[in-house]
């Protein structure tokens, strides 16, 4: 059942996405579209739930009745298991909230031409690696990760779906200079969610009362999202929650329970080389 992968401009994507690449590249964005962009496992589902709540003024029922979020799949998503992301997106009236894991250079040009707002979330490399490993274990639409050691090497080589983490976070960081991109960090959201929600509200030009913000914080807490079938993805046939739940641990620093001392040294050395010269930094990055 594990799918074939292929490459577009050196980036590993599903074979189906590659076969449909022309359609994806020519996707027509609308100026009112909001794009949520992330490297996989950075907190995509978390931010999309927050955005949905902000736009609906904290009305949970409205979020369920009139979803404006393309929950699954992503615009670049094509597979035999689920409907095409493009078809789903095209069927939605604007303003749409779309999702992508594409590195910045592969984002359909229409998003830049229409000057769409974009929210990007980055998560530190080591926790991203750990979370991605468990995700590839349980997601039938992604390649089998192999052993932990094998996956560790694949991640460093960028031989994982959507390509290397380092180029992804750096590429989007640079794009922020020229585009309307709100660049957020998973670790900041864990540290002070109210402050990060305020940033999103400002970016979306929304003003909400204090009690509404408190409601959003409760609704998007780790525990609430773990229990919510819309956000824990128990409805997705492609995910085997008996192997690993989708909303798994939700913490900063889980890499410490996975990395060996040697792996950590190897990772840090590689990290310093790849992140040299960028102004982008992560808390607890090494
Ligand atoms: P872990 O595997 O480390 O637990 P994405 O939505 O981009 O696939 O990211 C999934 C990761 O975000 C998972 O990380 C998941 O547990 C975490 N996550 C989801 N909702 C969260 C929340 N409300 N608070 C903290 N982490 C959350």
pLDDT in tens, 137-195: 999 889 999 999 999 999 999 999 999 999 999 999 999 999 999 999 999 999 999 99
Q: Does 21 score more than 70 pLDDT? A: yes
Q: 97: CA distance to ligand 1 center in Å? A: 19
How many angstroms separate the alpha carbon of residue 26 from the centre of ligand 1? 31
- Protein residue closest via CA to atom 5 of ligand 1: 41
pLDDT of residue 65: 76
Mean pLDDT score, 12-40: 94
pLDDT value, residue 66:
73
Inter-CA distances, 77 with 117, 146, 207, 275, 282, Å: 21, 23, 33, 29, 29
Report the percentage of the chain scoring pLDDT > 70: 95
The yes-or-no verdict on residue 1 having pLDDT over 70 is no
Atom of ligand 1 nearest to the CA of 249: 4
Of all protein residues, the one whose alpha carbon is nearest to atom 18 of ligand 1 is 250
34-38/11-14 β-pairing: unpaired
Query: By alpha-carbon position, which residue is closest to atom 22 of ligand 1?
Result: 222
Where helices occur in the chain by DSSP H, the ranges are 15-19, 21-25, 44-55, 60-65, 85-91, 110-113, 125-138, 148-157, 165-175, 186-191, 193-203, 210-219, 222-227, 229-232, 261-274
C-beta of residue 17 within 8 angstroms of C-beta of residue 78: yes
Count the neighbouring beta carbons within 10 Å of the beta carbon of residue 185: 21
pLDDT value, residue 5: 92
Distance, CA 114 to ligand 1 centroid (Å)? 30
Indicate the burial class of 260 (C-beta count within 10 angstroms; 0-12, 13-18, 19 or more). exposed
* Nearest ligand 1 atom to alpha carbon 190: 25
Task: Return the active site residues.
Answer: 101
> Is the per-residue pLDDT at 236 higher than 60?
yes
- Helices 210-219 and 44-55: crossing angle, nearest 10°? 150
Query: By the 8 A CB rule, do 7 and 158 touch?
Result: no
Look over the chain and give the mean of its residue pLDDT values, rounded to a whole number.
93
The pLDDT of residue 285: 66
User: pTM for the whole thing?
Assistant: 0.96
User: What is the best residue among 131, 162, 168 to mutate for testing ligand 1's pocket, by most ligand atoms within 8 Å of CB?
Assistant: 131
Pick the atom of ligand 1 nearest to 226's CA. Answer: 20
Helix (H, G, I), strand (E, B) or coil at 278: coil
Q: Ligand 1 center to residue 239 CA distance, Å?
A: 15
Q: Please provide the distance, in angstroms rounded to a whole number, between the alpha carbons at the two ends of the chain.
A: 37
Residue of 38, 41, 44, 47 best suited for mutating to test ligand 1, as the one with most atoms within 8 Å of CB = 41
Burial of residue 199, with CB atoms counted within 10 A of its CB: 0-12 exposed, 13-18 middle, 19 or more buried: middle
Of the listed ranges 57-71, 211-225, 236-250, the least confidently predicted one is: 57-71
pLDDT-based confidence at residue 98 (cuts at 50, 70, 90): very high
Query: In the prediction, which pLDDT does 2 show?
Result: 65
Q: Report pLDDT for 195.
A: 98
The predicted-structure confidence for 33-88, as pLDDT tens digits, reads as follows 999 999 999 999 999 999 999 999 999 888 877 767 767 668 888 766 677 888 88
The binding-site residues of ligand 1, defined as CB within 6 angstroms of any ligand atom, are 38, 40-46, 127, 131, 134, 220-222, 225, 247-250, 254
The rounded Cα 133 to chain-centroid distance in angstroms is 15
- Ligand 1 centroid vs 201 CA: distance in angstroms? 21
**pLDDT at position 238:** 82
User: Would you place residue 286 in the very low, low, confident or very high pLDDT band (cuts 50, 70, 90)?
Assistant: low
């Amino acid at each position: 059942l594990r799918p074939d992968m292929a490459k577009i401009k050196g980036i590993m994507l599903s074979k189906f996405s590659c076969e449909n690449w022309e359609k994806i590249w020519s996707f027509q964005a609308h100026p009112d579209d909001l794009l949520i962009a992330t490297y996989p496992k950075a907190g995509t589902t978390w931010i999309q739930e927050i955005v949905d709540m902000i736009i609906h003024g904290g009305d949970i029922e409205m979020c369920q009745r009139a979803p404006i979020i393309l929950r699954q799949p992503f615009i670049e998503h094509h597979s035999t298991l689920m409907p095409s992301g493009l078809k789903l997106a095209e069927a939605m009236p604007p303003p749409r909230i779309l999702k992508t894991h594409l590195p910045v250079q592969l984002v359909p040009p229409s998003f830049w031409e229409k000057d769409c707002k974009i929210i990007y979330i980055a998560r530190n490399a080591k926790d991203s690696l750990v979370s991605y490993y468990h995700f590839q274990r349980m997601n039938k639409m992604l390649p089998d990760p192999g052993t932990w050691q094998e996956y560790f090497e694949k991640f460093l080589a960028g031989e994982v779906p959507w390509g290397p983490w380092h180029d992804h976070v750096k590429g989007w960081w640079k794009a922020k200079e020229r585009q309307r991109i709100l660049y957020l960090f998973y670790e900041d959201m864990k540290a002070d969610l109210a402050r990060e929600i305020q940033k999103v509200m400002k970016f979306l030009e929304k003003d909400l009362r204090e009690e509404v913000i408190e409601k959003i914080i409760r609704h998007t807490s780790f525990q609430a999202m773990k229990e919510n079938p819309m956000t824990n993805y128990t409805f997705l046939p492609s995910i085997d929650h008996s192997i690993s739940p989708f909303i798994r641990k939700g913490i900063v620093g889980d890499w410490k329970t996975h990395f060996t001392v040697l792996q950590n040294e190897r990772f840090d050395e590689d990290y310093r080389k790849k992140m040299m010269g960028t102004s982008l930094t992560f808390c607890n990055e090494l």
